[in-house]
Amino acid sequence: ATGRAPLTIREVMTPNPVRVAPDTSVEEAVQLMRENQISSVLVEPGADGQWAIMTQKDVISRILHANRTPHEVRTDEVATKPLFTLPGDTSLNECVEQMLKRNIRRIVVAQDDQPVGIVSDTDIFRLVEELGFKRLYF
C-alpha cells in the first residue's frame, strides 16, 4: 500500500459542467454538446426547482425514437430528473457502485445543492488506463 487515501470524485471530476436553461431547445443543446464534445448537459431548475441532466440517450429515446422535432422540444421536457448527485468527498469506489446500482453512466458532483462537476464512466476508464487498477483502491 502506498499510504495514499482513496481517490475522491472531486479529484477526477470535470469541473463546471455545461448547463442550459430549461427552455433551451433540444436542438440548441445538442449543438452545444457537439461543440464541447460532451455527451450530456445539465438543465438548470425550472418552475419545479429541480436540476436535471439531458444525455445523448435521452435525445435518442425521447426525441428520435418518439418522432419528435428537436427544435420544438425544450430540454426540460426530455431531461432526466430528479438529478442524482454525490458530494465531492465521495470515494471513486462508492461512485462506481452508485453508477452500477442506478444503471447510469455519469454522476453529478454537488456542493451546497449546486452542481460543481461531473464524473462519467469514460473519466473512470481513462483513470484506470493511466493509473492501473491497484492504484484506484477497488
Any domain includes 98: yes
Q: Residue 1 has what pLDDT?
A: 46
Any domain includes 27: yes
Q: Residue 86 has what pLDDT?
A: 98
Dihedral of CA 124/126/130/132: which sign? Answer: positive
Any domain includes 2: no
Any domain includes 4: no
Distance of CA 92 to the CA centre of its chain: 15
- The mean pLDDT value for 83-107 works out to 95
The answer, yes or no, to whether residue 135 has pLDDT greater than 90, is no
Domain that holds residue 86: 9-136
Specify the pTM: 0.86
Q: Residue 3 has what pLDDT?
A: 55
Q: Which of 34, 38, 44 is nearest to 15 (CA)?
A: 38
Any domain includes 100: yes
Percent of residues, the chain, with pLDDT higher than 70: 92
Any domain includes 3: no
Any domain includes 111: yes
Number of domains in the chain: 1
Any domain includes 65: yes
CATH number for the domain that contains residue 23: 3.10.580.10
Residue with cell string 425521447: 62
The answer, yes or no, to whether residue 120 has pLDDT greater than 90, is yes
- Segment 18-56, tens digit of pLDDT: 999 999 999 999 999 999 999 999 999 998 999 999 999
